[in-house]
Amino acid sequence: MTETVPLIYSIFHLNLAFSSIEKHQHVEVVKHCYWPLLNLVQQQKIPVGIELTAYTLDCIQAVDPLWIQTLSQLAKTHQCEVIASGDSQIIGPLIPAEVNEQNLRLGQQSYQKYLSVQPKIAYINEQAVSAGLLDCYLDQGYEAVVMEWDNPYSDNENWHGSTRLAPQTLLTASGRKIKVIWNHAIAFQKFQRYVHHEMTLEDYQQYLQRVIPKDCEAFIIYGSDVEVFDFRPGRYQTESTHIEGEWLRIAELFHFLSQLKSYQWALPIEVLARCKNSQALVFQNASHPISVKKQPKYNVTRWALSGRNDLWLNTQCYKDLEKLNRIHGTDK
């Protein structure tokens, strides 16, 4: 019997709605961040997942249509995989189900329009998820979602640590099941540290050896922002103003990992084949009804109350929805 090796995979998150990126910087971001990602796929022959909203697709199309054409061709030939997220990067648990479903539906229309693909896997926006939100993904035809393992594991004492070693199934609010591919906050932070020259290759390799045992089915190498490599969005005064060579460092790392016999690169859809048919996991509880990304400080109220007039904007959105429902006779 042939021994299977752990699959490793990556999902790069592209977002031109990033509040720290101005519209005039879109050309620069595409040049320094998005093209190097496609070049990585073409030159290294490394399969990656690429996630972006319809809004980001629109923005890229406006400044560099060739990038869209290239992504479409790479996806059609299965050199990379388009991961969905919707029309806009909305925070699902804060928003009515019908709006979430329309956001997902409009996103699929744009993926078909620009890329001629219909993704089966969706990356949950900002990794903020509730059990009810999962039903929206099922209702819109998605087979699986990508969400972080870290916080649900910390919030549920009955979860075994081995749950992170393979794709699982989650229980939705309606009692249905949906597959999940894990993102991992610590993993993508380690990756960023390596790429930003804050960690040596030897240290990074030792980290992978610790977190990927032989019985691991699949492990995500990276599942976060693209706009932090060879570009800085200008959020922090501590950010370096002279950045270059980080995509080369990524390419060298990916090539190094591809030469190891202990791992095998795979597309996210290929990772799904190793989903465990064990009992569906319940990730929410009375103390933590909504799971979020990274540390617990990223509570979902961050998007409800903070930022630029978030409370007012969310209030206006609900008022607009009520108005539309009255116009169309669907007021609930």
The proportion of the chain whose per-residue pLDDT surpasses 90, expressed as a percent, equals: 83
pLDDT of residue 241: 52
Global pTM value: 0.93
Residue 292 CB coordination number (10 Å): 25
HEC string of 275-311 equals CCCCCCECCCCCCCCCECCCCCCCCCHHHHHCCCCHH
Spatial distance between the Cα atoms of 218 and 167, rounded to a whole number of angstroms: 7
CATH entry 3.40.50.300 includes domain 7-298: no
303-317 tens-digit pLDDT: 887 777 888 988 999
State in Å, rounded, how far the first CA of the chain is from the last one. 58
pLDDT of residue 295: 67
HEC string of 69-118 equals HHHHHHHHCCCEEEEECCCCCCCHHHCCHHHHHHHHHHHHHHHHHHHCCC
HEC string of the chain equals CCCCCCEEEEEEEECCCCCCCCHHHHHHHHHHHHHHHHHHHHHHCCCEEEEECHHHHHHHHHHCHHHHHHHHHHHHCCCEEEEECCCCCCCHHHCCHHHHHHHHHHHHHHHHHHHCCCCCEEECHHHCECHHHHHHHHHCCCCEEEEECHHHHHHCCCCCHHHHHCCEEEECCCCCEEEEEEECHHHHHHHHHHHCCCCCHHHHHHHHHHHCCCCCCEEEEECCECCCCCCCCCCCCCCCCCCCCHHHHHHHHHHHHHHCCCCEECCHHHHHHHCCCCCCECCCCCCCCCECCCCCCCCCHHHHHCCCCHHHHHHHHHHHHHHHHHHCCCCC
Residue 266 CB coordination number (10 Å): 20
Backbone angles phi, psi at 94, to 5 degrees: -90, -5
Q: Give Cα separations from 308 to 92, 94, 201, 292, 311 (angstroms).
A: 19, 16, 40, 20, 9
34-55 tens-digit pLDDT: 999 999 999 999 999 999 999 9
| Bridge-based pairing state of the strands 177-183 and 48-52 | unpaired
Spatial distance between the Cα atoms of 152 and 280, rounded to a whole number of angstroms: 13
Positions in the chain whose pLDDT score sits under 70: 1-3, 234-243, 295-298, 330-332
**Which residue, among 326, 75, 275, 1, has the nearest Cα to 163 in the 3D structure?**
275
Greatest pairwise CA separation for the chain in angstroms: 63
Domain ranges in the chain are 7-298, 300-332
Spatial distance between the Cα atoms of 274 and 181, rounded to a whole number of angstroms: 10
pLDDT of residue 96: 94
Residue 117 CB coordination number (10 Å): 16
